[in-house]
């Protein structure tokens, strides 16, 4: 009887997920990658891929479904995996069309649609900034009378702080909605809550959070995106109230929203006004901006590889076991750079464990046994990065690879 071979189809419109595919191959699963033409020359792990296929850069969801179905004529895929957030919706549609196991459209919405995830979190008892769907104008008027501005008009299906507009008075909202026209229902209105932003990156197996790491941003990502500046994030002291409270909150959130297995990147805000934690958003993906490298430096856990191990374990019907973790502290400093290949060699602290390689970006990751030392280095390096490297550009309308 021939040996059963498992195959995964990985879909990505951006260059990422190489470690996921390598882990699959190391476990005997044959990965196929479906990506876009502009990434033909990207450093994909060709040596471990069974196949790689390309879609036009301007493909539609219908095009993608047809292409995957054509590929399925010759191969049996046990799982279809979206490596990037912007492929989650289409991949959910593919699973439902082909009945390949995994999250469908409704489940995916809680990790993709900001309105759905806020509604779900609120219904589960989590604190959420006061929000309103952009649908019924009387509803919006009533909301703005009760909830004082400023407000944030947020795209429901973008990642990070892309496309967010700050609204100061009702007339500004009505003008903006007129500009958006029929697209306005793709947004939600939310009260702007000043505070400190944290992110919790997790591994979920059989509806339980089996691993999480709590980090705190320096400047809020929205501020960095819209006003420029140096992006930093660091591991929160594990003995602190913030770390313990966010770990507990996050352990309830992901299962409440319906994820059975995978990885999540959740964001929470500690409001300056009352000191309480509010849910901001959660995504069924590995965090961007080198957050996976940051988490690995602090804990020894590679989120991409653990995600692959979870999926393979599920296909084979065997329990997933989290590897041993470490408890160090790590921090990253990253900025858009004026030069194409910025030289960070002048930064030579022994705690530096990674120098990021990306065009027109300068970045470092530091790691120490001491949380205070990491914070000290980030404070120093973020100031120096701003002087040496920082370039200013308008916020992008669309995500960049």
Q: Which two tokens stand for residue 367?
A: 């790691």
Mean pLDDT, residues 358-379:
95
Opening angle at CA 104, ends 109 and 260, nearest 5: 85
The answer to whether 213 and 235 have CB atoms below 8 angstroms apart is yes
The model's pLDDT over 240-258, given as tens digits with 9 standing for 90+, comes to 999 999 999 999 997 799 9
- Ordered by start, the domain boundaries in the chain are 7-109, 130-191, 195-388
228, pLDDT greater than 90: no
397, pLDDT greater than 80: no
pLDDT-wise least confident of 126-130, 224-228, 283-287: 224-228
pLDDT (0 to 100) of residue 159 = 65
Task: Count CB neighbours of 339 within 10 A.
Answer: 12
Mean pLDDT, residues 96-113:
96
Mean pLDDT, residues 83-103:
96
pLDDT (0 to 100) of residue 273 = 95
CA separation for the pair 231, 363 (Å, rounded): 9
195-388: what fold? D-amino Acid Aminotransferase; Chain A, domain 1 (3.30.470)
400, pLDDT greater than 80: no
pLDDT (0 to 100) of residue 219 = 83
Q: Which among 323, 288, 327, 317 is positioned nearest to 305, based on CA atoms?
A: 323
What percent of the chain stands above pLDDT 90? 89
Q: Which among 24, 166, 163, 150 is positioned nearest to 81, based on CA atoms?
A: 24
Q: Which among 371, 369, 363 is positioned nearest to 389, based on CA atoms?
A: 363
CA separation for the pair 278, 399 (Å, rounded): 26
pLDDT (0 to 100) of residue 145 = 97
Q: Which among 36, 38, 84 is positioned nearest to 60, based on CA atoms?
A: 36
Q: What is the DSSP letter of 47?
A: G
pTM of the predicted protein model: 0.93
The answer to whether 44 and 52 have CB atoms below 8 angstroms apart is yes
Q: Provide the CATH number for the domain formed by 130-191 in this structure.
A: 3.30.1490.20
Mean pLDDT, residues 208-212:
97
Opening angle at CA 254, ends 148 and 25, nearest 5: 135
CATH class given for the domain over 7-109: alpha beta
Mean pLDDT, residues 172-186:
97
Question: Buried b / exposed e across 241-262, counting CB within 10 Å, b at 16+?
Answer: ebbebbbebbbebbebbebbbb
The model's pLDDT over 148-178, given as tens digits with 9 standing for 90+, comes to 999 999 999 976 567 899 999 999 999 999 9
Question: Buried b / exposed e across 182-201, counting CB within 10 Å, b at 16+?
Answer: eeeebbbbbbbbebbbbbbb
CA separation for the pair 262, 9 (Å, rounded): 16
237 contact partners, CB below 8 Å, separation of at least 6: 243, 329, 371
Q: CA of 19: how far to CAs of 43, 81, 83, 273, 338, in Å?
A: 12, 13, 11, 41, 29
Q: Which among 325, 207, 196, 199 is positioned nearest to 260, based on CA atoms?
A: 207
> Please, which residues bridge with residue 397 across strands?
none
Where are the extended beta strands (E) located within 161-207?
A: 165-167, 187-191, 195-205
pLDDT (0 to 100) of residue 395 = 56
Average pLDDT of the residues of the chain: 94
What band does 1 get if pLDDT is binned at 50, 70 and 90?
very low
Residue predicted with more confidence, 389 or 220? 389
Mean pLDDT, residues 37-54:
97
Residue predicted with more confidence, 228 or 209? 209
pLDDT (0 to 100) of residue 10 = 98
């Amino acid at each position: 009887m021939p040996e059963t071979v498992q195959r995964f189809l990985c879909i990505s419109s951006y260059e990422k997920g190489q470690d996921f595919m390598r882990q699959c191959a190391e476990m005997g699963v044959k990965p196929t990658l479906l990506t876009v033409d502009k990434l033909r020359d990207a450093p994909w792990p060709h040596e471990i891929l069974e196949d790689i296929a390309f879609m036009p850069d301007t493909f539609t969801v219908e095009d993608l479904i047809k292409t995957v179905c054509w590929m399925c004529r010759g191969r049996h895929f046990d799982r279809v995996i979206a490596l990037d957030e912007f492929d989650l919706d289409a991949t959910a549609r593919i699973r439902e069309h082909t009945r390949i196991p995994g999250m469908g459209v409704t489940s995916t919405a809680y990790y993709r649609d900001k309105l759905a995830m806020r509604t779900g979190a609120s219904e589960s008892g989590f604190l959420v900034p006061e929000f309103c769907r952009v649908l019924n104008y009387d509803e919006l008027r009533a909301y703005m009378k009760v909830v004082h501005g400023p407000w944030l008009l947020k795209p429901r299906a973008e990642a990070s702080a892309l496309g967010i507009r700050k609204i100061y008075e009702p007339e500004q909202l009505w003008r903006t909605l007129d500009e958006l026209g029929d697209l306005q229902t793709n947004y939600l209105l939310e009260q702007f809550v000043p505070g400190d932003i944290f992110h919790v990156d997790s591994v979920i197996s059989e509806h339980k959070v089996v691993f999480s790491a709590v980090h705190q941003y320096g400047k809020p990502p929205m501020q960095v995106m819209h006003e420029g500046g140096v992006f930093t994030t660091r591991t929160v002291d594990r003995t602190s109230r913030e770390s313990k409270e966010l770990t507990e909150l996050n352990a309830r959130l992901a299962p409440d929203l319906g994820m059975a297995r995978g990885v999540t990147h959740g964001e929470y805000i500690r409001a300056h006004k009352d000191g309480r934690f509010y849910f901001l958003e959660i995504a069924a993906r590995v965090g961007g901006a080198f957050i996976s490298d940051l988490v690995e430096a602090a804990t020894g856990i590679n989120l991409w590889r653990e995600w692959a191990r979870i999926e393979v374990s599920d296909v084979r019907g065997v329990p997933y076991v989290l590897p041993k973790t470490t408890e160090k502290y790590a921090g990253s400093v990253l900025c858009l750079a004026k030069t194409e290949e910025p030289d960070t060699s002048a930064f030579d602290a022994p705690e530096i464990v990674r120098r990021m390689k990306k065009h027109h970006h300068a970045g470092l990751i530091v790691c120490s046994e001491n949380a205070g030392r990491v914070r000290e280095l980030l404070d120093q390096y973020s100031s120096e990065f701003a002087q040496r490297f920082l370039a200013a550009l308008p916020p992008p309308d669309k995500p960049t690879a």
